[in-house]
Amino acid sequence: MSPATQPSPRRALLSVYDKEGIVDLARGLVDLGWDLVSSGGTASLLAGEGIPVIEVAEITRMTEMLGGRVKTLHPMVHGGILADRSDPSHVHDLRERGITPIDLVVGNLYSFSSDPGIELIDIGGPTMVRAAAKNHAHVGVVVDPADYDGLLAELRADGALSDATRHQLARAAFAHTAAYDAAIVQWFDGPDSGGPDADGSDASDPDPLKPSMHLALERVQDLRYGENPHQVGARYRTVGSSGWWDTAVVHGGKAMSYLNLFDTEAAWRLVHALGDPGVTAGADEPTAVVIKHANPCGAAVGADIAEAYVAAHECDPVSAFGGIVAVNRPVTLAMAESLSTVFTEVVVAPDYESDALAHLQQKANLRILEAEAPTWPELDVRVIDGGLLVQTADRLVAEPSQWQVVTEREPTVGEWADLVFAWRVAARVNSNTIVLAKGLRAVGIGAGQQNRRDAGRIAADKAAGRAAGGACASDAFFPFRDGLDAAAEAGASAVVQPGGSMRDDEVIAAANEQGMAMVFTGERHFRH
């Protein structure tokens, strides 16, 4: 609507929970000749700042009621917002009832996610915002304080908001209310909503997969490109939450691509999953992993982080070229000097010693990330035609006390440590997988093969004899004894696998023939 056809004076309705910037916006609107209507805390704030404001109660001729639950839910308000100014019957209705049109709605909703509860389920706010967004052909709506300056700038320059601006703001408004409703549904699905499971006494419906999913995501990072340069990519974040990517400090390097994030996420999770690698090692030992195409090509525990990194790299130096390195200790100069001789895309660590950071920053293209520990998602989600494929996340519990020794010989203390370590690595490798480990170091990893024999062959080839006296982990059972025989040929003296094959007895017999120790975990870890 052009300034010439705009009703004068124009009217704005301001009702916000987040009051950041609202005073400056209100002053700017008043300076442009706008009338302001408000209620509750927003009206009190503006009046206290000496800004002229009309109380909603003056328009509705009704005071707030029900403890503030009903303030703006009234035809005098919503008629002014929803009227189609191009429809003569709407204009007639406004005049007949003495309703002044509202040209701008500025509103944001109760911060439900911060302290969820019944009283923070906003009713009037979403209703006003949705009404204004629906009628965006005539009404502007703003839900984000970050948009206030742009709004004022356009009004000062042009006297009115353009069709494109109102359309863009309406889209943001519907996204705002959609995210709000998604948060409420998520709360209803949880144990603290006051429902039948609120006291934890009713476990009759433990299903974590609810009847519907409501995802509200916001784009927070544009990427250099997608999986390939001809694809575009971005990182989205769940509205109202954050992850380690949001707090990570980038100390240098090029912009991140889709695969940089994907592989770095895999590396950061794996290095934390290996923090307590075995029964003979203390918790949170210095640990390093090298990731390529989301699979580890090296993982190791060391006396210090430099030793751990060198050992992880030695597992498969060829595959480590152009890989992602993650460590669970501050990067030292000794580690930085070793890493800087290898082409590496990303290094992520909890911290960096100053001289180590300076050394790494000499590599202009190396992305250097300092990050907090990751959290573990409840659900694993993948896209399929027409929807999503959803499952509970694979939680690894590497607890030897729950495993079953099925051979005549029990593992030695050292073998137990390597079995746990190899099992933890195998659970994070694409299936089919075989992992060979010795001395809390992966020495051969066979990943993503269509059959287990090929995975074992690849792992043995990469180990090149270094698995002698070590452990072999298989993410699923050996369907035939040939897999066990291959582990023995690679030099492994102990095996960990889920068990459950029809030929378990044959595989156990083969292990006994070889003098090997073997344990069943009772749980497989396929990863596709």
SS3 (DSSP) at 296: strand
51-85: per-residue pLDDT in tens?
A: 998 888 778 777 776 766 776 778 878 888 988 88
| Full 3-state SS string of 92-151 | HHHHHHCCCCCCEEEEECCCHHHCCCHHHCCCHHHHHHHHHHHCCCCCEEECCHHHHHHH
Q: How many Cβ atoms are within 10 Å of 486's Cβ, its own excluded?
A: 21
From residue 320, alpha-carbon distances to 157, 325, 346, 490 in Å are 56, 9, 12, 22
416-434: per-residue pLDDT in tens?
A: 999 999 999 999 998 899 9
Q: Would you say the CATH fold of 400-520 matches that of 11-186? A: no
Q: For residue 68, what pLDDT is reported? A: 67
Is residue 312 within 8 Å of 327, Cβ to Cβ? no
Residue 280 in this model has a pLDDT that exceeds 80: no
Domain boundaries, the chain: 11-186, 249-370, 400-520
From residue 362, alpha-carbon distances to 250, 254, 322, 337 in Å are 14, 13, 17, 11
SS3 (DSSP) at 505: helix
Report residue 282's pLDDT band, with 50, 70 and 90 as the boundaries.
very low
Whole-number Å distance between alpha carbons of 300 and 274:
9
Whole-number Å distance between alpha carbons of 261 and 411:
39
To which CATH superfamily is domain 400-520 assigned? AICAR transformylase, duplication domain (3.40.140.20)
The highest-confidence range among 43-47, 196-200, 277-281, 348-352, by mean pLDDT, is: 348-352
Residue 279 in this model has a pLDDT that exceeds 70: no
Catalytic (active-site) positions: 134, 293
Whole-number Å distance between alpha carbons of 526 and 427:
7
Report residue 105's pLDDT band, with 50, 70 and 90 as the boundaries.
very high
The highest-confidence range among 210-219, 237-246, 351-360, by mean pLDDT, is: 351-360
Report residue 209's pLDDT band, with 50, 70 and 90 as the boundaries.
confident
Instruction: Give me the mean pLDDT over the 213-225 stretch.
Output: 90
Q: For residue 116, what pLDDT is reported? A: 74
Whole-number Å distance between alpha carbons of 387 and 330:
42
Q: For residue 3, what pLDDT is reported? A: 41
Bridge partners (DSSP) of residue 442 are 437
What is the token pair recorded at 136? 């965006």
Backbone angles phi, psi at 474, to 5 degrees: -120, 130
Name the percent of the chain lying above pLDDT 90.
62
Whole-number Å distance between alpha carbons of 471 and 415:
6
To which CATH superfamily is domain 11-186 assigned? Methylglyoxal synthase-like domain (3.40.50.1380)
Whole-number Å distance between alpha carbons of 519 and 511:
10
Q: For residue 39, what pLDDT is reported? A: 83
Report residue 4's pLDDT band, with 50, 70 and 90 as the boundaries.
very low
Residue 283 in this model has a pLDDT that exceeds 60: no
Is residue 311 within 8 Å of 441, Cβ to Cβ? yes
Least confidently predicted of 30-39, 59-68, 278-287, 439-448: 278-287
CA proximity to 305, closest of 293, 288, 321, 289: 288
Chosen CATH of 249-370 out of 3.40.140.20, 3.40.1350.10, 1.10.150.530, 3.40.50.1170 = 3.40.140.20
From residue 256, alpha-carbon distances to 243, 327, 365, 466 in Å are 17, 19, 10, 35
What is the token pair recorded at 197? 């499971």
Mean pLDDT of the chain: 88
